[in-house]
Structures are given as structure tokens and as C-alpha cells.
Structure 1
Amino acid sequence: MRRSVVSAVVAVAVLLTAAGCAGQERRPSRVAAPVALPEVEGSDEARQPDPSPTTAEPEETPSSRPSPTAKAKPKPKPKPKPSRSAGPRAVPRPPTETKLPPPPPVPSPSGCKPSYQGKKATRGQVKAALTDAAQRTYWPTSAPQIRIPLALVKATAWQESGWQSHIVACDGGIGLMQVMPDTAVWMNQRFEQSYDVDDHRDNAYLGGTYLAWLTKYLGDMYFDGDYRLDAALCTADLDSCLLNAVIAAYNYGHAAVAREGRPLVVPNPGYVRNVRALMTGCVCLDY
């Protein structure tokens, strides 16, 4: 009897085991979706990242991920603009110079073509001569602060000659700065120099010397010794600043711009505007 019961129990167990194995084989082969578990504070498992490679990590934006090595570049400090002068005096001071340059020449007849003499200087030679002329101190004792801007020297030479060192105009103007022979003689005497007007370097120095003389002469009469040749000091009125007055006088002579007891005038606005435009837009500035 006992053997019969044991045999029956064993048979039932075998049948249950076989039924369980058959159930596993019939289950679909797929992985169930992971279940999100609530994070438990203080649990090591809750702080571990999901090892599944299919889980996408959130992208970091530039604002949420600052670079530890990136440093904010300091903004460049703007250059202080020169304080605008009050403009020229309505009644000028008496001129301080007694040795005055000769009057400008009579305009040449229309249709006259310039001539050429000597060897033409190269562009590099002209640039070096004009740069040297702008760097000189023409009044080392009475007005050492006078400086002729390089852009003004280059633009004047371009307006006068197109940087042609060997050109001679119909009215007698010579070289880069179109210096008149009589004016060259006067400047050599006034500044005790011996510049050769036909040499391209000396011609540049003569032109720079004349610009410096006009700066001091007009600056003393109309601007109370303020010798700044700065375009930022000018307004829309051409007679508002020393820069325009010097440009005008270089072309028309000092007597056409400055008159004792009378206001400053600019009799040649077209020439002044041309030179002023060349000071910022001339191709020669890049040479």
C-alpha cells in the first residue's frame, strides 16, 4: 500500500514538472519594458546611472555647461574723442610771423599739360619720404606739439601730383607736394635749411614744412594756440576747424584764408573736400 502511494506521488510530481517545462517553451521570446522605480533617498542603487546603451542622455546646452577654461574677453576701451574746440575766433589775434611766404602763382591757362623731368621715384620711395615728413618735429622750441598727420601728408601729395615725383605743373609747381620754387627758397631761409625742391625726399619735407608753418600761423591767429589737426574737431561748416583752414591755405595761400581783423574764410571748398575725402578713402593710404 505504501509503495502504491509513493508511486502515485512520484508520478504526479513528474507530470507537474513536465507541464511547467512545456509552459516555458511556449512563452514569447521578448524582453518586457523596464519599469521605472522611484528613487530612494540614500540608496546606492538609485544613484547609479542606467547601464542600458539604449537610454539617451539629456543634451547639455551651452548655458548649462560653461567651459571651465573660457574667459570673458574684456571689452576694448573706446578711444576718447578730442573735446571740440569753440571754433575759430571771430576777431583773430595779430599774426606772430613777420616773414611771410610769397603769394601763390597765377592760375595756369586751361588745356595746359604738365611736363616731366628727372627720374620718377618708386612708390616705396615716395611712401618712405612722406612718412618721414609726417614724423618730423618742425617747431621743436616754440610749438613741439605740432604734428602733421600722415594721412594729411599722403592725401595732399595725392591731390597735388598723384604721387608723381618728377611732374612739373604749368604754374611751376614741382614734384610730390607741388612746391613753388619761390616758396621753397622762402622756407629754406625761414627754417635755415637747404632742401632741394627737385629731390623727392626734400620735396616731401618742404611740403611738410609748409603745412607745419600754416598750422602754427593759423593756430595762433584763430585758435588760441590749439594746433590739433583733428577731423573730429570739425563740423559741417568748413571754416570750423584748423584742419580745413590749413588745407585751404596750402592751395590758395595763407592770405586768402587769414586776414587781419577779419574772420577765417575757406575760399576753395572743393579742394578742401577732396583732400578731406582722400584722408580716409585714398588708395594711397594702403601703399
Structure 2
Amino acid sequence: MRARVLPPLPRAGFLIASFALGLACPCVAKAQIFGAVGADGSIMLTDRPGNPALHLVVTSSEPAARGARKDNAAASATMDSAQYSEIIAEASRDARVPPELISAVIVVESGYNPNAVSKKGARGLMQLMPETARRFSAGDILNPRDNVLAGAKYLRFLLDLFRDDVELALAAYNAGENAVIRAGYHIPAYAETQSYVPMVMAHYRRLSASRSAP
């Protein structure tokens, strides 16, 4: 962006305008913006540093921070997955469900927090509702092993019900099997479910690719 001169404004107006510019324009938010007020009150904005008369008015640190949070979350999930790897392997063998799929569900459902409880009452690593947990286990829903074994059995049930269509099984895991059936064996038109399925599938593909890599 070349230096841009705007009509005269009071200095307070310059500060407000500069702040609003940074919020309203995504293209501006990608770079540092410098500005100055001329003697006649005119405003100059530029993304080229070096002039000591210019002052930094907008910076784009937020996208980098957001990316750092994602990286930290991914690293945390990797460490926690190692902690529960034996349980996941056991559940995979017991229920005949790929361990990568179980791990992907855990990442999205609880972020590997064994004590997670949702607003709707879903609990544990695989965020099982109490009635679902009772269908597939007599154990403690907050016990990591009992929770993952029951969750894997539920995934196996859903995979069998929907003929190994992983996306439909995941949609049913999120919204309930009846919701998928009512939707004509398609992913229900719920915003949460339509966001949930691609997120789990992305983790599933990534984990599967990592496992198959030499």
C-alpha cells in the first residue's frame, strides 16, 4: 500500500478512524499500518515503515496468536493421546474400530480431558450421554478406560447401522442415529453436526496419514 493522504480531521478523529480501519478492513489487518497528521490536519496512512514522523496505528498480531493457540492445542492433544494410547488400542481391538477414528473423536469431543462435561450432560473423553453409556457399558462414565471402550462400541454400532459410512456414523454420534435416519440417511441440517463431521474427518485423515507414513 502506498502512502495515502486523507482529508483533514482532528487528531482524536484520526485515532478513531485508524482504529476503525484496522477492524473493518481484513486486507489492512494483514500488515502494520503507520500514520501521521499533517500541519493542516490531513492524515497520511502507509504500510511502509522507516519514516520517524510516522506512528504505528494498526498491527496484525492476532492471526499469529490464533495460529499459536492452534499449535499449542495440537501439541497438547498429541501428548494426551500418548497417555491414552493403550486404552485406545484396546478399544480399537475390542470394537473393531480404527484407533485413528477413536482418537479423532476424542480430540474433537473433549480435547483429551477425561473430566469434560458438556452443557447437555455428555461426559468423559468421548463425551457420552449417560443413557448412551448405559447402552454400551456398565462401567464408570468418567473412568477413561470405561468411557473409551463404551464410545468405541457405540461407534461400531453406528458403523454397522450405516454400512461403514464413516461420515454418517459420525453425524449420528453427534446428533443421534434417529436424526440421520429422519434426514434420509444424510448428515442432518444442524449447524453443529455439519461442522462436527468435517472436523473429525480432518483429524481422522491426518492421523491415518501419520500412521501410514514411513
- Please, what TM-score do these two structures have when normalized by structure 1? 0.41
Aligned length: 128
Contact kept, 8 Å, 1:174 with 1:180, in 2: the verdict is: yes
Contact kept, 8 Å, 2:171 with 2:187, in 1: the verdict is: yes
Aligned counterpart, 1:258 = 181
1:132 maps to 2:81: no
The structure with the greater share of residues assigned to strand is 2
Percent identity at matched positions?
32
Contact kept, 8 Å, 1:218 with 1:258, in 2: the verdict is: no
Letter in 1 for 2:160: K
Q: Distance in 2 between matches of 1:164 and 1:128?
A: 16
Q: Distance in 2 between matches of 1:199 and 1:218?
A: 28
Q: Distance in 2 between matches of 1:135 and 1:205?
A: 10
1:184 maps to 2:133: yes
Q: What does the per-residue CA deviation read over 1:134-177, in whole Å, with 9 as the maximum and x for residues that have no partner? A: 111x4xxxxxxxx3111110000000000111221221111100
- Structure 1 spans left out of the alignment, 5+ residues: 1-121, 139-146, 189-193, 220-226, 228-241
Structure-2 change in CA distance of 1:257 and 1:167 (3 Å): same
Name the larger-Rg structure: 1
Aligned ranges 1:125-274 → 2 under 5 Å: 125-136=83-94, 138=95, 147-188=96-137, 194-219=138-163, 227=164, 242-259=165-182, 263-267=184-188, 268-274=193-199
Aligned counterpart, 2:25 = none
Q: Distance in 2 between matches of 1:206 and 1:252?
A: 17
Q: What does the per-residue CA deviation read over 1:84-112, in whole Å, with 9 as the maximum and x for residues that have no partner? A: xxxxxxxxxxxxxxxxxxxxxxxxxxxxx
Q: CA deviation at 1:280?
A: 2.4
Q: SS where residue 175 of structure 1 aligns?
A: coil
- Structure 2 spans left out of the alignment, 5+ residues: 1-79
Letter in 2 for 1:178: Q
Contact kept, 8 Å, 2:109 with 2:126, in 1: the verdict is: yes
Q: CA deviation at 1:124?
A: 3.6
Contact kept, 8 Å, 2:133 with 2:141, in 1: the verdict is: yes
Contact kept, 8 Å, 1:134 with 1:208, in 2: the verdict is: yes
Q: Distance in 1 between matches of 2:100 and 2:181?
A: 24
Contact kept, 8 Å, 1:211 with 1:246, in 2: the verdict is: yes
Letter in 2 for 1:154: S
Q: Distance in 1 between matches of 2:123 and 2:142?
A: 7
Structure-2 change in CA distance of 1:170 and 1:201 (3 Å): same
Q: CA deviation at 1:123?
A: 4.8
Higher relative contact order (CA 8 A, sep 6+): 1
Over the residues paired in the alignment, what is the CA RMSD in angstroms?
2.3
The structure with the greater share of residues assigned to helix is 2
Structure 1 residue runs of 4 or more that deviate by more than 3 Å after TM superposition: 122-125
Contact kept, 8 Å, 2:81 with 2:103, in 1: the verdict is: no
Contact kept, 8 Å, 1:245 with 1:257, in 2: the verdict is: yes
Structure-2 change in CA distance of 1:156 and 1:123 (3 Å): closer
- Please, what TM-score do these two structures have when normalized by structure 2? 0.54
Q: CA deviation at 1:178?
A: 0.3
Q: What does the per-residue CA deviation read over 1:184-207, in whole Å, with 9 as the maximum and x for residues that have no partner? A: 11223xxxxx22211100100011
Q: What does the per-residue CA deviation read over 1:21-80, in whole Å, with 9 as the maximum and x for residues that have no partner? A: xxxxxxxxxxxxxxxxxxxxxxxxxxxxxxxxxxxxxxxxxxxxxxxxxxxxxxxxxxxx
Q: Distance in 1 between matches of 2:200 and 2:162?
A: 18
Q: Distance in 2 between matches of 1:155 and 1:256?
A: 22
